[in-house]
Structure 1
Amino acid sequence: MGVVETMIGIVVCICLSGTVVIQKLVQQYAEDPNRQNEKDKDFAANMRFFRKWLFFIAAFFSGAYIIYNQVAGTPWQAHLQEWLDLIFRWLHIIFGISWVGASFYFVFLENSLNRTEEIRDELAGNLWAIHGGGFYFLEKYKIAPKQIPKHLHWFKYEAYFTWLTGTCLLTIVYYFNAESFLLNPEITQLSPVLGVMIGVSSIVFSWVFYELLSQTSLLAPEKRPIFFLIMVLYLLAVAYCLSIVFNPRAAYIHMGAIMGTMMAGNVFFVIIPAQKEMVFAAKEGRAPNGELGKRAGWRSYHNNYFTLPVLFIMISNHFPSTFGNEHSVLILLLISLAGAGIKHFHNQWERGELNRWIVPISLVLLVLTIYLTAPKSREELANADKVPFTEVEAIIGQRCRPCHSKTPTDDVFIVAQGGMMFDTPEQIVASKDKIMNRAVITKTMPQGNKTKMTMEERTKIETWIMQGAKLED
């Protein structure tokens, strides 16, 4: 059984088992007269919601398995995978924009509240705003209003669906094609199933580590720098370990999945439960626990600082000089710190506070990253023995053209990736800079070195380009 069949079987079994367990739990709640309060009814409603989604996921993957068996080994296999990639990537971006936008907006709102002028006792602050041709007036309560409004909007599904579509995308691109995208045989010899298990385990374990650390006293104001340092060192260690095991591009994406899971976990396990408890307390006439709101607020700030590093990782696969560099882990660290620093400056600026050193330090980190990713000069190759184009064309024909052609022969890619084709000498010469970057400098092509391009072949391509990329032998 292959990695695709194994993963689909595991997902379907987990989902179906979950629906059975949840059904029994909901039935127990419905029959128990002591569980008819507002909180228990809300819990049962949530369980019914998750039962529907688990059943939908099980049905989806079961259908996908049937279709996969029908199209396996045919051109439709790659075609359907490409469309799944496109659809879930599109959805991931749509939900991600909604989530990040909400995060940025509410942190801005919190930082920009008027907390002093004409504020009623029960309010923490207010804000006047103008947008889209209209005036808006917003108020924040210190804890909760005396009466909960009938229509209360919750910001949670943006986070949930961003995480779900991201998980599907990770599975479709990296786990279903583990041999090509997840693993690099030049780095380590792992089976696809073991590689997938390592990837999933790294995400789950990292979330557990973050959650346990967040429940310690290190979130106290005077200890937050220690919390930040521990998290940076932990993520740095995980990134290094993944870079040893995985394809560089897959290692980066898994770091994005790890941080994204921490963010979604904050929403699902901390922020939303805290908000629900405050709503229940207000409805029942109890004094809401203000500490729950503070805890949720700090997790929301954590998510706010994660956003720029995660957004960088989302686009990094288009820039091989980052993930394909020999210092890829250091580059990820520098850009993440720079992004978090710029976000910190922005948050302080919205509060009317300014630390003038944050932006210069962040810019220095970015400049250092640009320096680290700069190509090394190999001018001596210009005077080396001449490499004829016929040799380069033979190498590209054997190692690159299976994917980069008008009629690809690869079993995964049915169209030329990135629109790059090497069918003619003119196309090869026109793409020499990209070939230099991907095949020589970053060594991120061929994908997972699927066609076994050797270092000697990469050097010949580099020498030919340094000698002017001439067609004449």
Structure 2
Amino acid sequence: MYDLAVMWEWLEFAVRWTHVITAIAWIGSSFYFIALDLGLHRDRNLATGADGEEWQVHGGGFYHIQKYLVAPANMPDGLVWFKWESYSTWLTGFAMLVLVYYLGGELYLIDANVLDIPVWQGALISMASLAFGWFAYNTLCKVFVDANQTVLMVALFVVLVGMSIFYTQVFSGRAALLHLGAFTATIMSANVFFVIMPNQRIVVADLQAGRKPDAKYGKIAKQRSTHNNYLTLPVIFLMLSNHYPLAFATPYNWAIASLVFLMGVTIRHWFNTQHARKGAPHWTWAATVMLMIVIAWLSSIRHEEPAEQQAGLKGAALVYASAPGFEDVTDIVLGRCSMCHAAEPSWEGMHWPPKGVVLETPEQVAAEARRIYVQSGIAHAMPPANLSYMEPEERLKIVEWYRGAKGAGVEG
């Protein structure tokens, strides 16, 4: 039997895997070249026009690397371009955004208690915000082109704080932090597509035409690459945050996201200073630890829930709730899962529901239908190690209920 839910799960897995692979390639090359540039020796006898050199050993061989500040005298053969790592990371990331947050918007993107809007409106806001991110950042770079770069980074931080507040007022907590990561990653990839690569093409064209390239293009490209270097670690944190409710499911998630950008700066400053052989600013690790402590504290502050929560069902959840066997499945889930998946878990040592999934009411069970089906009906991943002893007959009831609802017209 063709099972759309299982196929969809594998599609998400495949796209996510591809996204991680391309991100590793992009981040790896970015970190390597920043470290290489900062560590170049400029006090040696260099080839004409070379700005610095480095000897490295890896994989049983020695590498002699030279950097030309503007360009070599002649166009070299077999020039390697580094661009597809960035493009493919963004494209696969946007594909994940579509698969999980646009097509699964009722569950992941929109929280009616935050802002009750249709999923299609949320998707449009999402895409518009990503475009705005590049426009705002690029404008700041042009306005502060001759200013101290610290001023530019402070201005960018103000924009990021503003966007973190905006996202938490529009989307669910999970989607808000994920979108702030996508917002930043879009800036980084657009840097490559709209600035770094075009500038490098101008230099190559000048070389091919026998002209001396203008040094400003290389300086601009290096500036944008440096910005990307400092933004990388916060993006990774924000992309991982959707697995940790303490990061996104708190009233201060916007502040947590903002502080993460400061941690990214302190960590990268240590590494970059080390690569440049300017000492080891260990104070950056103390600052990072203090920031993390503040983040952990913010995540633990309790707040009063609204007096009236919107508990009504809508969309596909209505069909799941009315499908044959729903009452039995609800009893199974409440009996086998809700000791952990509760607003206040009763399982010893557990202080919050795993992944932020709460299963204490029929409405919540219906809203999480696909995950219950995949995790407990098909994969048998839940309960973990089957600690609550879910019986094979109970898993079968979950499968029959979900497929019955699917037969009644629910997609996925």
Matched, 1:302 2:227: yes
Aligned to 1:358, which of 284, 304, 309?
284
Contact 2:250 2:299 in 1 (8 A): yes
C-alpha change, 1:427 and 1:249, in structure 2 (3 Å) is: closer
Aligned to 1:374, which of 282, 300, 322?
300
Counterpart for residue 236 of structure 1: 161
Contact 1:180 1:450 in 2 (8 A): no
Q: Deviations over 1:298-346 (max 9, x none)?
A: 1000110110000111111111101111110111111221122110121
Counterpart for residue 26 of structure 2: 99
C-alpha change, 1:326 and 1:307, in structure 2 (3 Å) is: same
Q: Deviations over 1:53-91 (max 9, x none)?
A: xxxxxxxxxxxxxxxxxxxxx973433322221111011
Q: Deviations over 1:190-217 (max 9, x none)?
A: 011111111111111111111111122x
C-alpha change, 1:253 and 1:282, in structure 2 (3 Å) is: same
Matched, 1:223 2:168: no
Give, in whole Å, the separation in 2 of the partners of 1:424 and 1:223: 58
Aligned to 1:437, which of 346, 352, 361?
352
Counterpart for residue 44 of structure 1: none
Q: Name the Cα RMSD after superposition.
A: 3.0
C-alpha change, 1:164 and 1:410, in structure 2 (3 Å) is: farther
C-alpha change, 1:279 and 1:167, in structure 2 (3 Å) is: same
Q: Map residues 413-452 of structure 1 onto 2, 5 A cutoff.
A: 423=333, 425=335, 428-429=338-339, 432=345, 433=347, 436-438=351-353, 444-446=356-358, 451=363
Give how far 1:445 is off: 2.7
Give, in whole Å, the separation in 2 of the partners of 1:352 and 1:333: 30
Contact 1:422 1:428 in 2 (8 A): no
Give, in whole Å, the separation in 1 of the partners of 2:227 and 2:207: 27
Matched, 1:131 2:58: yes
Give, in whole Å, the separation in 1 of the partners of 2:321 and 2:154: 45
Counterpart for residue 120 of structure 1: 47
Counterpart for residue 112 of structure 2: 185
Task: Name whichever structure is richer in helix by fraction.
Answer: 1
Counterpart for residue 250 of structure 2: 325
Q: What is the SS of the residue equivalent to 2:213?
A: coil
Counterpart for residue 245 of structure 1: 170
Q: Deviations over 1:121-160 (max 9, x none)?
A: 3100110011111111111112111221221110000000
Counterpart for residue 465 of structure 1: none
Counterpart for residue 7 of structure 1: none
Q: Counterpart of 1:359 in structure 2: which amino acid?
A: W
Q: Using structure 2 for the length normalisation, give the TM-score.
A: 0.76
Give how far 1:120 is off: 2.7
Q: Percent identity?
A: 32
Contact 2:181 2:238 in 1 (8 A): yes
Counterpart for residue 406 of structure 2: none
Give, in whole Å, the separation in 1 of the partners of 2:181 and 2:168: 13
Contact 2:321 2:363 in 1 (8 A): no
Give how far 1:422 is off: 6.1
C-alpha change, 1:287 and 1:271, in structure 2 (3 Å) is: same
Matched, 1:335 2:250: no
Give, in whole Å, the separation in 2 of the partners of 1:426 and 1:266: 49
Q: Counterpart of 1:317 in structure 2: which amino acid?
A: N
Matched, 1:259 2:184: yes
Counterpart for residue 387 of structure 1: none
Counterpart for residue 140 of structure 2: 213
Give how far 1:410 is off: 8.1
Give how far 1:186 is off: 1.5
Q: Counterpart of 2:285 in structure 1: which amino acid?
A: V
Aligned to 1:143, which of 70, 86, 98?
70
Counterpart for residue 293 of structure 1: 218
Contact 2:340 2:350 in 1 (8 A): no
Counterpart for residue 309 of structure 2: none
Q: Deviations over 1:218-239 (max 9, x none)?
A: 143x532221121111111111
Give how far 1:166 is off: 0.4
Give, in whole Å, the separation in 2 of the partners of 1:213 and 1:140: 29
Give, in whole Å, the separation in 2 of the partners of 1:169 and 1:150: 37
Give, in whole Å, the separation in 1 of the partners of 2:179 and 2:107: 16
Contact 2:164 2:258 in 1 (8 A): no
Q: Using structure 1 for the length normalisation, give the TM-score.
A: 0.66
Q: Map residues 37-186 of structure 1 onto 2, 5 A cutoff.
A: 76-186=3-113
**Structure 2 gap ranges (5+):** 305-311, 323-330, 366-412
Give how far 1:450 is off: 9.7
Give, in whole Å, the separation in 1 of the partners of 2:82 and 2:100: 29
Give, in whole Å, the separation in 2 of the partners of 1:195 and 1:356: 43
Give, in whole Å, the separation in 1 of the partners of 2:70 and 2:133: 32
Which sits farther off after the overlay, 140-149 or 421-430?
421-430
Give, in whole Å, the separation in 2 of the partners of 1:353 and 1:183: 48
Q: Map residues 8-47 of structure 1 onto 2, 5 A cutoff.
A: none
Q: Counterpart of 1:255 in structure 2: which amino acid?
A: L
Contact 2:69 2:218 in 1 (8 A): no
Give, in whole Å, the separation in 1 of the partners of 2:48 and 2:73: 12
**Structure 1 gap ranges (5+):** 1-73, 379-397, 404-408, 412-420, 454-473
Give, in whole Å, the separation in 2 of the partners of 1:287 and 1:345: 36
Q: Counterpart of 1:336 in structure 2: which amino acid?
A: F
